[in-house]
């Protein structure tokens, strides 16, 4: 049976931490299918994940490569409100949209949504984000929620990028260009609405 990248991705913990050297769990899964990366680079998943990947691929489990981290208890992040300046760097970098707040105001981490990827920790210019252990393991249910959240985050960022590009395009157009563009859309819209360019009058007999 052929193993797909999606099959392997679903076996990963979905923390999107990039410790494996790839930009997220999906990219790492693709590399494993292509046999360009071994199965022992997922520190958050540890021994359990390595055994799952080995079984799916029909290979022998191997020890976690210490170059890519070590297996540790689950650690999430929290923001010190006394030091936060509202720069929103943490919110932008979070792969699952677990950071909430408004620009130039306080930001906070939604603990139930945090994966513990810790990408925000070194990115914070105020050094106001710290790791803490919640005293529970990372479960398959956590991974499933994180996968959905990551997908939603990627989709949102794609929409925002498209909107920014469109706004930049419109800003570059002159008023004359905008009028010409609007007029060019009129015939197409009339055609789609069923207008043929002629007016129809009801005749009384």
Sorted by where each begins, the domain ranges of the chain are 5-68, 73-192
Helix (H/G/I), strand (E/B), else coil: 19: coil
Distances (CA, A) of 170 to 177, 181, 182, 185: 9, 11, 12, 15
Contact partners, residue 60, CB within 8 Å, separation at least 6: 54
Dist. CA 39–CA 63, nearest whole Å? 9
pLDDT at 187 over 80: no
User: pLDDT band at 113, cuts 50/70/90?
Assistant: very high
User: For residue 177, what pLDDT is reported?
Assistant: 78
User: For residue 22, what pLDDT is reported?
Assistant: 98
User: pLDDT band at 202, cuts 50/70/90?
Assistant: very low
pLDDT at 190 over 50: yes
pLDDT at 196 over 70: no
Q: Which of 138, 21, 18, 24 is nearest to 75 (CA)?
A: 138
Write down the mean pLDDT value for the chain.
91
User: Across the strands, what pairs with 107?
Assistant: 101
Which of 3.60.20.10, 3.30.750.80, 3.30.70.20, 3.30.420.40 would CATH assign to domain 73-192?
A: 3.30.70.20
Helix (H/G/I), strand (E/B), else coil: 67: helix
Note the pLDDT tens digit of each residue in 46-80: 999 999 999 999 999 999 999 999 999 999 999 99
Residue that the structure tokens 């970098």 belong to: 93
Q: What is the pTM for the complete model shown? A: 0.80
User: pLDDT band at 81, cuts 50/70/90?
Assistant: very high
What is the second-level CATH architecture of the domain 5-68?
Answer: Orthogonal Bundle (1.10)
Dist. CA 40–CA 28, nearest whole Å? 11
User: For residue 199, what pLDDT is reported?
Assistant: 46
pLDDT at 201 over 50: no
Residue that the structure tokens 């990028």 belong to: 161
pLDDT at 153 over 50: yes
- Find the DSSP H helices in the chain: 5-9, 25-33, 46-57, 89-93, 120-123, 140-172, 175-192
């Amino acid at each position: 049976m052929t193993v797909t990248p999606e099959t392997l991705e679903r076996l990963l913990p979905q923390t999107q931490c990039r410790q494996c050297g790839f930009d997220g769990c999906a990219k790492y899964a693709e590399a494993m299918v292509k046999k360009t990366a071994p199965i022992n680079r997922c520190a958050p998943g540890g021994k359990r994940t390595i055994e799952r990947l080995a079984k799916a691929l029909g290979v022998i489990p191997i020890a976690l490569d210490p170059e890519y981290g070590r297996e540790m208890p689950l650690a999430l992040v929290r923001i010190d409100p006394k030091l936060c300046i509202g720069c929103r760097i943490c919110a932008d970098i979070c792969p699952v949209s677990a950071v909430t707040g408004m620009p130039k105001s306080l930001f906070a981490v939604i603990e139930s949504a945090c994966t513990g990827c810790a990408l925000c920790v070194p990115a914070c210019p105020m050094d106001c984000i710290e790791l803490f252990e919640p005293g529970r393991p990372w479960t398959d249910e956590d991974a499933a929620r994180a996968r959905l959240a990551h997908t939603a985050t990627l989709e949102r960022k794609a929409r925002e990028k498209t909107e920014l590009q469109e706004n930049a395009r419109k800003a570059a157009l002159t008023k004359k260009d905008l009028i010409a563009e609007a007029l060019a859309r009129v015939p197409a819209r009339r055609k789609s609405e069923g207008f043929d360019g002629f007016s129809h009058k009801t005749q009384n007999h």
